[in-house]
Amino acid sequence: MPELPEVETVRRGLAPVMEGAVIARAELRRPDLRFPFPAGFAEALAGRRVISLGRRAKYLLIDLDGGDVVIAHLGMSGSFRVAGPRDETVPGEFHVPRGKDERHDHVVLHLETPGGPQRVIYNDPRRFGFMDLARREGLSEHPYLRELGIEPTGNALDAAYLAARLRGRSQPLKAALLDQKTIAGLGNIYVCEALWRAHLSPERAAGTLVTAAGKPRRELLTLTDAIRAVIADAIEAGGSTLRDHIRADGSLGYFQHSFSVYDREGEACRTPGCGGTVNRIVQSGRSTFRCVACQK
DNA sequence: CCTTGAACCTGGGCGC
DNA sequence: TGCGCCCAGGTTCAAG
């Protein structure tokens, strides 16, 4: 679910609560998410102080004193929320079935913070998320992180990098950009949006944006700018709130109101003067939204 | 090596 | 109201 802007929004929401706090106890309410929690996971977290919260691509990184780092991926439906201390329960009280949401609270971090006890709760109905533990040293060589491409934030991403990555590839642009080894953190929404902004067809062979000499064509410069802009805009808007995804503080991101093509099948293309209609196709099993009239 | 498709899960929306 | 089908922000395997 969450793409880079959503994970970054989660990171920013959790940081004020978690950084400097001590994890008194990590409560695992089931043995696995998508994969089993690693052996000794809860024990490794207990008593550790959170140094900082980081992010790489769509992974949240919880840096602990002692040198361990929690690597967390939210899958399609994962979310974190902050709650106060556990509600008091009355002994002997009739057991009230938990609400639908709480059934999917799989991990509870019980924190001691300067402001008192807090809980950070990971909820994930589909359980496509996963968590692992790694050492800070050599973190970038962890199997989940090792092959990730460049971040689309800041100044790191440029057309020369993309040219080198896309050169000679016959794969559709959509698939190439979705590949985390190309650009780390793009997902279905932001790839569709970036291609629309750049007026490029998701079906274009990726290699056609590169000259025979390996130089980026003008279109690739446009695409590079579009990717950086859409990610920056989405982060600034606090990400997108779709369906049940909420931010750590319970508020809603609002970038979904800025979608130009994603989930807008049948609607008018927003490119000024275009007059086309957004349609939906399926590429490698996933929906692509685009305007045939202006995306070439 | 490359690419596609299925699998992993639950829940919401829709048509009948 | 109920049932079946399709769809959903991602990643990892297996197979071609």
Distance (Å) from CA A27 to C1' B12? 29
Residues of A carrying an active site annotation: 2-3, 58, 286
- For A199, phi then psi, to 5°, come to 60, 35
What domains appear along chain A, each with residue ranges and CATH number? 4-141 (3.20.190.10), 159-291 (1.10.8.50)
Can you tell me the mean pLDDT for A178-194?
96
| Nearest nt by C1' to A280 Cα | C7
- Identify the pLDDT of residue A253: 79
pTM of the model: 0.94
If one counts every other C-beta atom within 10 angstroms of the C-beta of residue A121, the result is 21
Euclidean distance between CA atoms A277 and A70, whole angstroms: 44
CB distance A61 to A55 below 8 Å: yes
Euclidean distance between CA atoms A48 and A51, whole angstroms: 9
Distance (Å) from CA A239 to C1' B16? 37
Going from the C-alpha of A120 to that of each of A108, A231, A281, the distances in angstroms are 6, 26, 39
Euclidean distance between CA atoms A196 and A268, whole angstroms: 13
What's the per-residue H, E or C state across A166-212? HCCCCCEHHHHHHCCCCECCCCHHHHHHHHHHCCCCCCCEHHHHECC
pLDDT, averaged across chain A: 90
Q: Report chain C positions within 7 A of protein CB atoms.
A: 7-12
pLDDT level of residue A100 (50, 70, 90 thresholds): very low
| Nearest nt by C1' to A171 Cα | B3
Can you tell me the mean pLDDT for A93-97?
33
In tens, the pLDDT along A54-66 reads 999 999 999 999 9
- Identify the pLDDT of residue A250: 56
Can you tell me the mean pLDDT for A225-231?
97
Instruction: Tell me: pLDDT of A95 over 80.
Output: no
Distance (Å) from CA A264 to C1' C5? 22
Contacts of A165 (CB under 8 A, 6+ apart): A149, A176, A182
Q: Which two tokens stand for residue A206?
A: 């990726």
- Identify the pLDDT of residue A92: 29
| Nearest nt by C1' to A3 Cα | C9
Q: Report chain B positions within 7 A of protein CB atoms.
A: 2-12
In tens, the pLDDT along A4-53 reads 999 999 999 999 999 999 999 999 999 999 999 999 999 999 999 999 99
